[in-house]
Structure 1
Amino acid sequence: MLSVEHISKSFFRKQALDDVSLGAEKGEIFGLLGPNGAGKTTLIRIINRIVEPDNGVVRINGAIMTRKHLEHIGYMPEERGLYKSMTVEDHAVFLGRLRGLSKQDVTAKLNYWLDKFEIGDWKKKRIEELSKGMAQKVQFICTVLHEPELLILDEPYSGFDPINTELIKNELIHMRNQGKTIVLSTHNMKSVEEICDRVALIHHSKKLLEGRVADIQEERKEGLYAIRFRGNMIAFANALWSGFEVVDTENPSDNLFIVRVKMRGENTFDDLLKVLIGQVKIEAAWEVLPTMQDIFISIVQPKLTEAL
């Protein structure tokens, strides 16, 4: 649905993007990851035609992007752009008209979202009367009023408490299920794991990684398994042999332990269970996959060290 092809951009000889290519499919949530200053926001602004690339093209459904395509894009920038002296209703009408909606359509759609979020009494409030989180919710509503096919959100959870973060997350999942394409730029790695289908990681203006979240975690796993058991830690350790290495141990209560074990050689999870059964009472056992935060740090931190 969205294809970014060999995009490069410099500002005053500072390379912001260097031959970046990536793509988001119809009906998926695509995570755009990277540390501050990596080039994510520049790429988002290029997709929205706020700035033009030095090289490369952006395609929407296979066609080179034009300003006409902007009618089908919803964009919520990291820098919030609400006019503080306007009421919520007037602001929604203003932005809705810019996207080609009639005043009547905007009013109907605004009422739908205000009712859905149970905030109907905000309609006549001025933006300056709202808290940061409330204003953020209004900006999200204004972003989706025209029912865009492509939704681009830059740090959408900034300013939200956990309840409202969950609310927006569920709305994004619902939109994906309706066939919308969502590009999500965020530092919230937990939400990436929960809702993103695929991700790309940009650092120092280059794309370093792209793929399905599950595939990336699978590729970078390290043979770690966790065992939660009741019993004696000495009995657990004695049951192991040289084919297994205890990485770390938690002791939540007197006789309850959670131990992470790393496989050595050709040993398998079955082998691990066989040596433990009968020695301790196993309550749960699972493979430990690296989190997206682990993966992010493992890729970015060495690059930061090299740059020093």
Structure 2
Amino acid sequence: MTTNHTQGLMKLSAREKTQNGYKHGLDIDGQLVRVADVYGSTNAMWDSVPGAAEGEVNARRLVACWNACQGLDTEMLENLLLLGETLLTRFKARDAVEQQLEADRLQAIDQVKALKSLQPPGKSDEALRKAWRAAGGDFHGPNIETGTMPEADLLTFLRRLAHGTPGAQWRQDGEPDPHGTRYDCERAELAMGSLTDDELANGAFMNYDRPLNIEGIIAGTHQSPIAWMTATKDRIRWLSRALDKALAALPPAYEGPYTIEHHGDAFALYQGRDTQHHGYNLARISEVDPNRPELLQLITNGLNAQAAARN
């Protein structure tokens, strides 16, 4: 059922003079509102006599509520109460989301500032070592002077450096995920998870600054701008982690066969070493019988046979 009511702004009105003063009422665009029988079958809301102050305050509140709800459907307001909510609770919920978004924005600014402060030459040696280890590298030698990293990890590390901005600075620095396992889920479990990435991007672009449609939100046909921004924030964070997992799951670009070659005054066992690749230096072989060079070939044949069997 559609609720029809008089249109216009309401104000307090003093229309009828009595021996005790004035009888006051509520006025909508020049029309005195007829008050129900509980007020004495009269157009008057209260009398200006001693003790009538509470009635005047109540009338002022009715006027303020009426005018504040201009454009809102009466049934929508009634449904809001049936849901156990009020306009105040909705405003508080909106304010809480806006405060969180503002906190996220300020955090993002701080992270950008921190990232800029860590860029060379300002980035400390220890921070660089930490980033190296986080990417899969290590340090060796009596004075920890030699840095090593598997070639596949090194190429990934160099690509990230070449791209400039990392997907997450905490990941680049070897820190734990600040959001824990919040984003260890399927895309569909996120806010607005039924939308594809393109649909969410388009929806956020079209709705981020739209006026709040309370009636549509209650009816389930609209989302608030804050909801669009929250869903977009979650989707970006989820995609960043999903991309990192996908990159980590990629097989090494090149592994190649096992070989043994001279290295200084001894030998070194390599994997994937050829004219195009340095390969992995897997082990140092310091003692080899010079009268039995076939032992080196026997070792590499055995390793390569095992690798072929695994594949």
TM-score (norm 2): 0.23
Larger Rg: 2
Which structure has more strand as a fraction of its residues? 1
Which structure has more helix as a fraction of its residues? 2
